[in-house]
Structure 1
Amino acid sequence: MANNYRIAVLVGSLRKDSFNRKLAHALFKMAPGEFSFQECAIGDIPLYNQDLDGNMPEPVKRLKGEIANAQGVLFVTPEYNRSVPGVLKNAIDSASRPYGQSAFAGKAAGVIGISVGALGTSMAQQHLRNTLAYLDMPTLGQPEAFVQARDGLFAPDGGIGIEDTKKFLQGWMNTYCEWVRKHAKA
């Protein structure tokens, strides 16, 4: 089956062995065949500077294009100091500018994250949802998913190794994919 739905994926961690990147890749395996995922590089996005709105740096143009060509955006974020990592916020600020030319408007958003703490990434996700509302992104509200990293969570094949968590995340992914189908522009 051809891939009909492209999802731009923004992982809020630059760490090579990031739990959030592993979670993103495990989720990709759970999606129906008509979905494809592109992890968007955000580590090379320069700090947002409004003076550059008329002449956007190439990494920003690339990111805006990847988002523009997608039907949905999946945000997979850690929590730094009870909020969104700066690298993710910078990427969002850059791709949403100049005012009136946001790459995000109307894109179906999913928000999820993993951390070692018991609260998962609840505060970061809430802060991110506030930003996404302003960007006019229909954002999946339920189920919320605050995943705690624990031994055995990731299977050797990159999938989810704990059965109850796998079942929960499969349900989350099914719901997100339905959300994209509902909001994808024709």
Structure 2
Amino acid sequence: MSNQYNIGVIVGSLRADSYNLKVAKAITKLFPTNYSFKFINISELPLYNQEADQQVPAVVANFKAQIKSCDGIIFATPEYNRSIPGVLKNAIDQGSRPWGDNSWNGIPAGVLGVSIGNISTAIAQQHLRNSLAFLNMPTMNQPECFLKWYDDMVDAQGNISPKSKDFLQPWADTFAKFVSHNVAK
């Protein structure tokens, strides 16, 4: 019998029609059936303020609990001004604080990103990887996943187009194996 793996998905865009959200939802369909997914909302987190470390707000405590319940995390990030969006950086900071209570510690991570630009999210992903290394998250290095958005990449039923599925299926397969070998229990 296969182990069950619970994967958190954090999308670094708050836009309702986000390309990263569409791809993140669609890629979950490419995983084995023993992988379940929970999209973790970052839109309600207050801006990180160290003064709140003494009395962590309930929304932040709930966010941290959701992270800790995951066997792996997929980060789907756009690229804003050659880096990660502020909302994603805020979520990373909230999850890592107060000092000594790093909710991300030891959780395997996968990074992907979608953009309309020719270099996609290459620089944002590198910036994100720097933070994940500091937070002690083992992060899948290969295959990398930089996607340039095109119309119909995700169809009306939320499925990846055949053209992109050939690229994304190996990413999903590799991340599934990565989690099973690196899960922090």
Cα displacement (A) at 1:3: 7.1
Structure 2 gap segments, 5+ residues each: none
Q: Which string of whole-angstrom CA distances, capped at 9 and with x for unpartnered residues, describes residues 55-78 of structure 1?
A: 111111111001100111110000
2 CA distance for matches of 1:14 and 1:152?
21
Cα displacement (A) at 1:154: 1.1
Tell me the equivalent position of 1:181: 180
Report if aligned partners of 1:2, 1:34 keep a CA contact under 8 Å in 2.
yes
Cα displacement (A) at 1:2: 8.1
Cα displacement (A) at 1:167: 1.1
1 CA distance for matches of 2:95 and 2:177?
25
2:150 aligned with 1:114: no
Residue type at the aligned position of 1:169? L
Structure 1 gap segments, 5+ residues each: none
TM-score, structure 2 normalization: 0.97
Q: Kindly report which structure 2 residues correspond to 1:35-74, keeping only aligned pairs within 5 A, or say none.
A: 35-74=35-74
Cα displacement (A) at 1:49: 0.6
Q: Which string of whole-angstrom CA distances, capped at 9 and with x for unpartnered residues, describes residues 62-111 of structure 1?
A: 11001100111110000000000000000100110011110000000000
Tell me the equivalent position of 1:150: 150
Return closer, same or farther for 1:3/1:37 CA change in 2, 3 Å cut-off.
farther
Structure 1's consecutive aligned runs of 4 or more residues displaced over 2 angstroms after TM superposition are none
Sequence identity (%): 48
2 CA distance for matches of 1:156 and 1:128?
30
CA RMSD, 1 decimal: 1.2
Report if aligned partners of 1:3, 1:34 keep a CA contact under 8 Å in 2.
yes
1 CA distance for matches of 2:151 and 2:184?
40
Tell me the number of residue pairs that the alignment of Structure 1 and Structure 2 aligns: 185
Tell me the equivalent position of 2:129: 129
TM-score, structure 1 normalization: 0.96
Tell me the equivalent position of 2:101: 101
Comparing 81-90 with 3-12, greater Cα deviation is found at 3-12
Tell me the equivalent position of 2:170: 171
Task: Look up the SS of the partner of 2:164 in the other structure.
Answer: helix
Report if aligned partners of 1:83, 1:124 keep a CA contact under 8 Å in 2.
yes
2 CA distance for matches of 1:185 and 1:144?
22
